[in-house]
Amino acid sequence: MKQFSLYILLILFIVSCTSNTIYKRPDDLIKKDEMIALILDIQLANGARNIKNSDGQRLVEYMPLVYEKYGIDSARFARSNYYYSTRIDDYTKMLRAVKERLGKMEKDYDRKVFVQDSIDGKYNNSEEKRKRVAQLDENRINLISFSEDFNNSIWLKGNSGDSSSPIIISNFASAPNGQDSADKIIFEIKPNKNQRNRSWIRQKVGKTNNPKILSCWMKSADNKEYIIGWHTGSVRGVVNVTDKWTRYVFEDKLENSIFAGLEITNKTSAKVSILLWGFQVEESKSVSDYRKTEEFEIGNIQNPKLVPPPQTEGIQK
């Protein structure tokens, strides 16, 4: 399992160094949605190897069952995986989707166990129950990737109408944690009530079954006060950003929102210069402690029979 984790890291490194190289699409390429589900099942199969099954057996190889479920073999998976891994943006999004699904499955399982334990009277007193609730809270995941690196490509910057995309200056100032990791972000639009002018920075977090809580630390970069909007596909609410570091929180009650970020429109300040740090999105109705995310923590994916990289003639420049 570790071998394939290192394989993925090596592929991502090679691709980042040769971003102008595009490998030929395999004729039997597995579709993205199916590939995400497949990688998820591979993760589960690998994890199940260390758990006794109903027959009391451990270290059972479940990979053949996974391949049988999807009607493929290891060679086809390897070809598709290699192809996607050479498209680093798409591959990163796919791994992120796997991470989110695994996190949700783990959270749902923990809560089901907690409910059943409560019914069975396994908590001797309210203090034990309170500690278990706190532990469940600690197990929450931050749906945002690269929560302090707003220059990362996972953060989409855009605009519409008479406006410009936001400008990001990395590590511009000291953050609430005392480190020089707060980014400066400059938004600007030209006010026009007859035109929908917008400038935004956002990240795709996907649909969830429950409302989401958005939070981040913001501070004016030039001691002025600004009105800025939460971006979840459109402005759902606005906040007044002052010259003091403040953690702002917003509850997005719409389950079909797929984005999370910030924006300015005709309803906010026309020009905004702020410091931003620690963006977090949780599938919850209350905010919890901030959890920094720096990368996609998807690893230990097993690929038993790796197919060699395509030959030179299969490469398109």
Cα(271)–Cα(248) distance, integer angstroms: 19
What the block records as the tokens of 143 is 């749906």
Kindly list the distances between the CA atom of residue 179 and the CA atoms of 127, 183, 206, in Å, as whole numbers in the listed order: 36, 11, 30
Measured CA to CA, the distance from residue 301 to residue 2 in angstroms comes to 8
For domain 156-282, the CATH class is: mainly beta
The count of C-alpha atoms lying within 13 angstroms of the C-alpha of 316, restricted to the half-sphere facing its C-beta, is: 8
What are the distances in angstroms from CA 271 to CA 169, 197, 198?
Answer: 16, 12, 11
Apex 150 CA angle, 9 and 288, nearest 5:
90
Q: Where in the chain are the domains?
A: 2-141+298-316, 156-282
pTM, to two decimals: 0.57
Residue 50, Ramachandran bin (φ over 0: left; ψ between -120 and 50: alpha; else beta): alpha
Q: Residue-wise pLDDT tens for the chain (317 aa)? A: 344 444 444 444 444 444 445 678 889 999 998 999 999 888 888 877 777 766 766 666 778 888 999 999 989 998 998 888 888 778 888 888 888 788 777 776 666 665 666 666 666 666 665 555 555 555 577 889 899 999 998 899 999 988 999 999 999 999 999 999 999 999 999 887 767 889 999 998 877 667 788 999 999 999 999 999 998 865 568 999 999 999 999 988 766 678 899 999 888 888 999 999 999 998 877 788 888 887 644 433 333 333 333 333 333 32
